[in-house]
Amino acid sequence: MGKSLLIVESPTKARTLNRYLGDRFDIRASVGHVKDLPANELGINIENKFEPHYEVIKGKEKVIRELRKAAKQADSIYLAPDPDREGEAIAWHIAEELRSSQKEIYRVLFNELTRNAIENALKQPGELHQQKFEAQLARRLLDRLVGYQISPILWDKIRRGLSAGRVQSVALRLICEREHEILAFDSEEYWTITALLEGEVKPQFEARLWRQAGKKVKIPNQKQASALVAVLEQASYQVEKVEKKKRTRNPAPPFITSTLQQEAARKLRYTAQRTMAVAQRLYEGVELGKEGAVGLITYMRTDSTRLAKEAVTAARGWIRDNIGTEYVPQKAPVYRSRKGSQDAHEAIRPTSVTRTPEQMAAYLKKEELALYELIWKRFVASQMSPAQLDQTIMHIAAGELMLRASGTVLRFPGFMQIYIEGSDNGEDGLEEGPKLPDLKEGTSLKLVKVEPKQHFTQPPPRFTEASLIRELEEKGIGRPSTYASIMQVIQKKEYTIKEKRRFKPTELGMLVNDLLVASFPEVLNVAFTAQMEAKLDQVETGNRGWLQVLEDFYQQFHQAVERAQTEMIDVKREGLPTELDCDKCGKKMHIRWGKNGLFLSCSGYPTCKNSKNFARDSKGKIQAAEEAEVKGTCELCSRDMVVKNGRFGPFLACTGYPECKNTRSLQNEKAEEKEKTVQYTDEACDKCDGRFVIRKSRQGISFLACENYPRCRNTRPIGTGIACPQTDCDGELVERASKRGKRFYGCTRYPKCRFISWSRPVDKGCPSCGNAYLVIRSSKGEEYLACPEKTCGYKEAPSKEV
């Protein structure tokens, strides 16, 4: 009896499965999709009911040939790509290519790659899921129609290489709209006043001014703040009311794709793309020594918080045995999935709760361990008891003024013993506040000090990856599996940049968004996009036909495309009108696109060839850039050369453009300026005829390098003049830096001599124990000399020469 053929997506997954099934199955990998729409044409016959033209992806012909050959020799065929829409499409296309083998074809879904899960899945194989494939097909065709019919309009109106996407462009719209909110925001001044008070019971505590004559206090300026401070400094204080509440805080549900991406962005600073790549490796299998390759987490593309009963039972047992019975709730928590979630797969969890992060540390790379620990802790915490907090609110009377103090104390940590969910503002989400003294109502208080503080209202923050993913998810835009690619594309196309890990739209991004919103208001409508996602879900459940979804969409979309081709502003030829006047002819300046990006050009071109760079003020209003800095004369036409900014940085350009198109790199001038600051030494290079100069490494450490670099790459550390203290070593101590940039002092004979000192050595012997050198250390900002020998303890103040 021959073997059956089992086909998966990735070679890593194939290796993991081969460990369990190698004696019964011929396991092959398709290495992703094998068929797709053609790259250089639409590939959809719109007139013939949107018939797609799929073709074998270039480079996959060999994979198809090998799979066909293996299929002929197999008893039956099992298709086991990932259990989602993309995986179903891969399985469907492979099946189309292997039907000629006339072998029975089964569909297998692996939610996790463990022995029991694999065996159970193979015992209950299913058929290809037609509705799931049609949902993927509809999404693929919709995305192709939008991308291939809008993008050429952008190429014609602005420049080639731009792209539009059904979900990508809506994400860009959210970023641009947030930027408009920020630019339109007017900051307002306000003040808060805090009193430090002391009662008969310690500790001292702070209370904030809250009400005046029964109304909430608003302090708009320093004058009013000073008047209230004067009243508070003369007032008598008394505890009027004490409220004590017991609060319960429940754990967060186990991860789904979007929440994993958000939390990894907050806590690990991983991009969504990186998170999914690392999670894929953990799912497909990691070598665990003698145990072999094992999948450590369940499938990572899911929007369901459902957990298998076996996993819940195992988690409760682990918590009971390792943390304590009181941390196990009486009933296992059940989490409700978001409306519209597909619930096909479990939440993301470890395949075995007994494989703790500490045990896996020896087998995982740093980034794999960090993500696995996040997943493991979130899952375990989700099955633990709620945290119990005691909250105290104290109302304090000061004449007609009322102050309020609040404090929260963690009475029972519950799930917080393991895990606390992060937040977008960088805090860890722990709500424990200052502890208030146990004071009774009517108690008199003593004022220690009053402190007024000035504040300004802040605009809404720009989106981080975490907050943008949350926004997309809450509005029902896209699917968790698409978020990573969306984040990547809007940056790759230069529509956005990241400043302090937050998305900021570029001028190009703002321009593209404005034109698309004006020409395709429906396609870029948030509600419309969310409705389309719901329709695709209905296709998967069999409640709506994929062809009907396409026909309903295309009728309106096609009309918008035809209008945009004639009505969209032609930035390339006509420019985008502004309110700025040309300082040479008085006509309006327009924004145009050139080889070096967007710039201002006179609408009277070619009669008036005035052009300028532009910038935006704090409110986003376009302003002409200051006159370019004149730097030299053009060697071709003798006009002035001015500094301009291009996509590769500043350069010199002739003011006679376009008659004279001379440009000159500023790199040579930078090199000349740098040369003036180079410190030459008297030491000659021992590998060429050059001299050594002093340079600095990335870590800021000085070293000697040949002046003829890069022709000669000879370098040498700068010695401290202190001999290596190791016995029988004739080396010298030099300053070095570790991989993380931490400075230390090591021997020039490394690696033969591995002596290091984390403190700077000084060429002075210890008068107490006779050690050959002392080191410089510091305490509370003051430096002192100390003996490095632990048993000595000698210290002295450093001399001025040290």
pLDDT in tens, 555-583: 889 999 999 999 999 888 888 888 898 98
| CA neighbor of 42 nearest in space, from 189, 195, 146 | 146
CB-based contact 687:706 (threshold 8 Å): yes
Total Cβ atoms within 10 A of residue 623: 13
> Out of 347-356, 445-454, 734-743, which region has the weakest mean confidence (pLDDT)?
734-743
Q: Whole-angstrom Cα distance, residue 193 to residue 453?
A: 6
Average pLDDT score over the chain: 86
Residue 606: is the preceding peptide bond cis (ω within 30°)?
A: yes
Sign of CA dihedral 254, 257, 258, 262: positive
For 409, the enclosing helix (H) or strand (E) is strand 401-412
CB-based contact 306:347 (threshold 8 Å): yes
> Out of 60-69, 136-145, 469-478, 728-737, which region has the weakest mean confidence (pLDDT)?
728-737
CB-based contact 359:319 (threshold 8 Å): no
- In what side-by-side order are the strands of the sheet with 691-696? 679-684, 691-696, 702-706, 715-717
Q: Which pairing describes strands 743-747 and 679-684: parallel, antiparallel, or unpaired?
A: unpaired
Q: Whole-angstrom Cα distance, residue 549 to residue 50?
A: 11
Q: How many CA atoms lie within 13 A of 652 on its CB side?
A: 17
Sign of CA dihedral 340, 342, 343, 347: negative
- Residue for token digits 């990856």? 465
Q: Whole-angstrom Cα distance, residue 30 to residue 13?
A: 11
Q: Note the pLDDT of residue 675.
A: 47
Sign of CA dihedral 301, 305, 309, 310: positive
Q: What is the pLDDT of residues 316-370, one digit of tens each?
A: 999 999 999 999 999 999 988 776 565 567 899 999 999 999 999 999 999 999 9
Cα→Cα distances 155→151, 159, 344, 565, Å: 6, 4, 40, 11
Q: What is the pLDDT of residues 38-93, one digit of tens each?
A: 988 899 999 999 999 999 988 889 999 999 999 998 999 999 998 888 889 999 99
Q: Which pairing describes strands 77-79 and 4-8: parallel, antiparallel, or unpaired?
A: parallel
Q: Note the pLDDT of residue 99.
A: 86
Q: How many CA atoms lie within 13 A of 269 on its CB side?
A: 5
Residue 203: is the preceding peptide bond cis (ω within 30°)?
A: yes
Q: What is the pLDDT of residues 596-611, one digit of tens each?
A: 678 888 988 888 888 8
**Mean of the pLDDT values across residues 504-533?**
90
233 pLDDT higher than 90: yes
| CA neighbor of 250 nearest in space, from 309, 167, 334 | 334
Assigned token pair, 203: 């500790």
Q: Whole-angstrom Cα distance, residue 585 to residue 590?
A: 13
Q: Whole-angstrom Cα distance, residue 36 to residue 86?
A: 11
Q: How confident is the model at residue 802 (pLDDT cuts 50, 70, 90)?
A: very low
239 pLDDT higher than 80: yes
User: Strands (DSSP E) along 486-583, which ranges?
Assistant: 496-499, 502-505, 576-581
Q: Whole-angstrom Cα distance, residue 673 to residue 583?
A: 35
| CA neighbor of 40 nearest in space, from 180, 144, 162, 159 | 144
- Percent pLDDT > 70 in the chain is 93
DSSP state of 325: G
Q: How confident is the model at residue 636 (pLDDT cuts 50, 70, 90)?
A: confident
Which residues partner with 256 through β-bridges? none
Assigned token pair, 75: 């008893």
Which residues partner with 212 through β-bridges? 215, 401
Q: Whole-angstrom Cα distance, residue 370 to residue 361?
A: 9
User: Strands (DSSP E) along 17-104, which ranges?
Assistant: 25-29, 35-36, 44-45, 51-52, 55-56, 77-79
Q: Whole-angstrom Cα distance, residue 765 to residue 761?
A: 10
Q: How confident is the model at residue 128 (pLDDT cuts 50, 70, 90)?
A: very high
Rg, the chain, Cα only:
34
CB contact set of 604 (below 8 Å; sequence gap of 6+)? 582, 585, 587
761 pLDDT higher than 90: no
Q: Whole-angstrom Cα distance, residue 622 to residue 620?
A: 6
> Out of 78-82, 251-255, 451-455, 698-702, which region has the weakest mean confidence (pLDDT)?
698-702
| CA neighbor of 236 nearest in space, from 456, 465, 411, 446 | 446
669 pLDDT higher than 60: no
Catalytic annotation, residues: 299
Angle between helices 130-157 and 546-567 (to 10 degrees): 0
701 pLDDT higher than 80: no
Q: Which pairing describes strands 77-79 and 105-107: parallel, antiparallel, or unpaired?
A: parallel
524 pLDDT higher than 70: yes
Q: Whole-angstrom Cα distance, residue 172 to residue 496?
A: 8
Q: How confident is the model at residue 667 (pLDDT cuts 50, 70, 90)?
A: low
CB-based contact 107:7 (threshold 8 Å): no
